[in-house]
Structure 1
Amino acid sequence: MPIRLTPTFRDRLAAADRTLYGGWICSGSPVVAEIMAGAGLDWLLIDMEHAPNGLESVLAQLYAVSGYPSTPLVRVPAGETVIIKQVLDLGAQNLLVPMISTPDEAAAVAGMTRYPPAGCRGVGSALARSARWNRVEGYLTNDADHVSVFVQIETIDGVENARAIAETPGVDGVFVGPSDLAASMGLIGQQTHPEVVAAVKRAFAGIAAAGKPVGVNAFDPAAARDYAAAGADFVLVGADVALLARGSEQLAQSYLGSTGESPRTSY
């Protein structure tokens, strides 16, 4: 019996009438991934670039979130053919590829996600979860319907090329990363610096002019709201490890105080 895959993030964005808010999964834990998936966020980013994630842990996290309405994206560590092929074969339907600064780089990545003759993705659908072991009818000929491709602008060159990157065939949307962008501008660690924010919004304008959805990372609530008001279609507003770090710090502070010693109560 043929199996239908879930709608892609491209489809989810096209149907949305508001900004979609997401959470970063960096822990590498399927348990934490499921907790994040059940929180009510619109989408989730399973990270392979800056997190302890390999193919097996990504697969486990895709399983863990599959029963929830949040749409998962997988950020691969680099735009490399073998990595992208393997992550797609795991069943990831939505990819985010980091460090894209030119339309040529974007075109190369888009080609890695398509079967020949449109691209160079290796054919292994009978062996892979992507096509549910050949149970998804027409997967090979309709591969573009089942996969959405997002690229990440993280340099000032990428900002200047934002419209051309977004117009690249096969690119479904663009995500702007203020952290590395700030570093490329000589403002490392200053993601909300006015010059960085202005550059992000300049990228927004180029991407919007291409008619593609634009996303951004913004853990600061004021920045997230400002970017949403500026036209961001999807915003990453927190990470599992950051929530755990800040929450555990607050817990310790509430019991240990600033001295690090547990307060005593007299009876």
Structure 2
Amino acid sequence: MTIVKNSQPSFKDEADRRKYEEVLSIARPNAMLETMRAGGLALCHTMSIARGPEIIAMAKYAGYDALSINLEHERNSFGETVDACCTALMTGMTPVVIVPSLQNDWVSRMLDNGAQMIIVPRTNDAAMAKQLVKFGKHRPLGERPLAYNPAMQYRIPDFKWTQYVANETTMCVPMIETVEGLENCEEIAAVPGVDAIFVGAHDLSDDMGIAGEFFNPKVQEAIGRICKAAQKASTPEKEIYIGLGGLDPYPDLFRKLRAAYPNIRFTNAGRDVIMLSQGMELALSKFRDAK
């Protein structure tokens, strides 16, 4: 897979170009990011309780672009999350990790162990978004230390170009899920190094005082405001994408929002908890009349 870049790098000489190409040849492509850069919709499987590598292989075969692991709400351990990230990388899926909080040891450490997208919950202002970029991007955008990691196949052929390619293939994503974050969404989207914004529709509606009312015009207007903020912050060199969470039970509503805002480029498209419970109910329904 060819890595799609925001812009072509500049080289001081032919040797510099060769160093860049060597780094590029070992980098694990970010399938989700490439789909979004091409204008498509990236779909994530949410791993909650079914954490075996078999599930990741099944998700890849089903056609998912990414594997999403939520460390804010789920019981996944650090080691389990690293194993899942590495397995996803090897299957060609993008490992997405929602960290519990905005802490350097969560953001940088997860990126050092396979994550290609970091989402920080309850990002309420531009200062928090700047901290995320500081922790999650290498220089010149941030201050993330360079380490041997699975996304680069544990190699650093050249320091400068490894930093550059890592910045191109990993994503720092604030999550807006509060009224405060909504009110500051324009400033959050404009922070250099922010790659996308993830909208937590459940918690955002709750914080607005209309919990779960996803068809309420106020909720849809709030999502629209965030989408417009991302559009305004985008440049010809870099588009800021939008992801929607919590709407997987409402695909028609999601289609409506994406039709209105084409910069919505990724979403959760099913989670194992719901799939398993619905599958159990369906299986039982076929035998109930035999009792």
Gaps of 5+ in 1: 257-261
Q: Which residue of 1 aligns with 2:276?
A: 244
5 Å-filtered alignment, 1:201-240, equals: 201-211=224-234, 212-217=240-245, 218-219=247-248, 220-231=250-261, 232-240=264-272
How far the C-alpha of 1:135 sits from its partner, in A, is: 4.3
The one-letter amino acid of 1:4's match is I
Match of 1:68 among 72, 91, 101: 91
Q: Which residue of 2 aligns with 1:167?
A: 190
RMSD of aligned alpha carbons: 2.3
Q: Which residue of 2 aligns with 1:263?
A: 290
Q: Would the alpha carbon gap of residues 40 and 167 (structure 1) be closer, same or farther in structure 2, given more than 3 Å must change? A: same
How far the C-alpha of 1:136 sits from its partner, in A, is: 5.0
Are 1:91 and 2:114 an aligned pair? yes
Match of 2:155 among 134, 138, 143: 134
How far the C-alpha of 1:150 sits from its partner, in A, is: 1.4
How far the C-alpha of 1:117 sits from its partner, in A, is: 6.7
Q: What secondary structure, in the 3-state scheme, does the structure 1 residue paired with 2:287 have? A: helix
Q: Which structure features the higher share of helix residues?
A: 2
Structure 1 stretch displaced more, 105-114 or 137-146: 137-146
Question: Is this contact kept in 1: 2:42–2:267, CA < 8 A?
Answer: yes
Q: Would the alpha carbon gap of residues 28 and 243 (structure 1) be closer, same or farther in structure 2, given more than 3 Å must change? A: closer
Are 1:191 and 2:245 an aligned pair? no
Q: Would the alpha carbon gap of residues 44 and 129 (structure 1) be closer, same or farther in structure 2, given more than 3 Å must change? A: closer
Mapped partners of 2:61, 2:156: distance in 1: 28
- Normalising by structure 1, we get a TM-score of 0.85
The one-letter amino acid of 1:34's match is A
Q: For each residue in 1:196-252, what CA deviation from the matched residue of structure 2 results, as whole angstroms up to 9, or x when unmatched?
A: 122112211111221211111221111121122122222222212111111212222
Question: Is this contact kept in 1: 2:99–2:119, CA < 8 A?
Answer: yes
Mapped partners of 2:48, 2:132: distance in 1: 23
Q: What secondary structure, in the 3-state scheme, does the structure 2 residue paired with 1:99 have? A: coil
How far the C-alpha of 1:115 sits from its partner, in A, is: 4.0
Q: For each residue in 1:66-123, what CA deviation from the matched residue of structure 2 results, as whole angstroms up to 9, or x when unmatched?
A: 3434333122121111111210111212212211121111011110113467534345
Q: Which residue of 1 aligns with 2:41?
A: 19
5 Å-filtered alignment, 1:28-39, equals: 29-30=51-52, 31-39=54-62
Q: Which residue of 1 aligns with 2:76?
A: 53
How far the C-alpha of 1:180 sits from its partner, in A, is: 0.4
**Over 6 Å off, 4+ runs:** none
Q: For each residue in 1:168-200, what CA deviation from the matched residue of structure 2 results, as whole angstroms up to 9, or x when unmatched?
A: 011001111110001101122333333212211
- Normalising by structure 2, we get a TM-score of 0.79
Mapped partners of 2:154, 2:63: distance in 1: 30
Gaps of 5+ in 2: 1-21, 235-239
